[in-house]
Amino acid sequence: MTNLFELDEAALSELLIGWGEQRFRSKQIWKWMYEKGATSFDDMSDLPKALREKLKSEASLGSLQLSTEQISADGTVKRLYRLTDGQLIESVLMSYRDKRRTACISSQAGCAMGCVFCATGQMGFARHLTATEIFEQAQRFSQDLRSRGERLSNVVLMGMGEPFHNYDPVLEAVRRLMADLGIGARHITISTVGLVPEIRRFAEEGLQVGLAISLHETKDVARSALLPVNQRWPIGELIEACRYYQERTHRRVTFEWALIAGTNDIEPTAHQLGRLLRGLRCHVNLIPLNPTDDYDGSPTEDAGAFIDALAEHGVPATLRVRRGIDIDAGCGQLKSAVQKKERRPPQ
């Protein structure tokens, strides 16, 4: 069974010609897949019935199997997909009043980085996703939005996994997001916990794709306790890599700061962060942490003092709108909940 989303236009054309079809049929199918958002071969009404039946028996429109879907009161959609080998991954669609429709997608099944406040980090690493598995998560949301006259406007690779640990498939998927879904580079963001060599490599790609750094602490000892990767590439090396990225791309860097109650949410820490980032063209994205078993998020009303302290150092910051708090919207939470249910012995 051939997954058509694994094929580029030339390969799709070659497949159909091998079936004895005319070349123009591939353009029709391509249009149904990427412009009209077809969910089945039966939707492709301008294809001969015989070709539609051939496609149903020999090909598929994707490989992700929807396992669970949750919809928040604020409209956030959280999906759990089962892959062909049984692995589970998550994707989220967030809708905003300004018409933005943002997909948060995964790059790995699980994660090897071991960040202690992240549900995904605590479940361990299973495998890398293919470029098609990464792309298809965004494509599914794009397909659904098109069916109701909307469009996917933004994609962030902030779901399960460390994107730069799966560098080549992630970059291939990003290029497909731009080419096949028409999402501009400046509307795509890759988030990393700080793989310094890959940040420098990314700076040389010639893309205007955004870079977000999961920082969360300003001192090496404290950051290493939260993000073990810091033991390999400490904060000083990470900030230098960010400066290099900025020199090469002239893009602003986003620093993600999960506000963990009683850990990194106090005003003196904000001043330390301001001094660390002074002179960098950057923005700090304060994130109300979705609670896990061991960590609670700070009250959002406490963020004002943190933002004001950063402003004293010329570092702009905003508080991210909290999405999907009434569902398992935090990274890894839905997968964890489903796995616990599946492991539960029958009553």
Q: How far, in Å, CA of 47 to CA of 45, rounded?
A: 6
Q: CA-based angle 136:142:145, to the nearest 5?
A: 145
| Pairing relationship of beta strands 88-95 and 101-104 according to DSSP bridges | antiparallel
Q: How far, in Å, CA of 162 to CA of 108, rounded?
A: 7
Q: How far, in Å, CA of 1 to CA of 237, rounded?
A: 46
Cβ atoms < 10 Å from Cβ of 317: 22
Look at residues 117, 160, 164 and name the one whose alpha carbon lies nearest to residue 288.
117
**Angle, helices 267-277/303-311, rounded to nearest 10 degrees:** 30
Paired residues of 283 in beta bridges: 254
Examine the residue annotation and report whether 331 is marked as an active-site residue of this protein: yes
Task: Kindly name the residue from 90, 136, 198, 256 that is annotated as catalytic.
Answer: 90
DSSP state at residue 346:
P
Mapping DSSP onto H, E and C, the string for 177-229 reads HHHHHCCCHHHEEEEECCCHHHHHHHHCCCCCCEEEEECCCCCHHHHHHHCHH
Task: Kindly name the residue from 111, 118, 282, 331 that is annotated as catalytic.
Answer: 331
Q: Are 103 and 154 in contact (CB under 8 A)?
A: yes
Look at residues 254, 274, 198 and name the one whose alpha carbon lies nearest to residue 229.
198
Look at residues 159, 140, 6 and name the one whose alpha carbon lies nearest to residue 65.
140
Q: Which residues are catalytic?
A: 90, 331
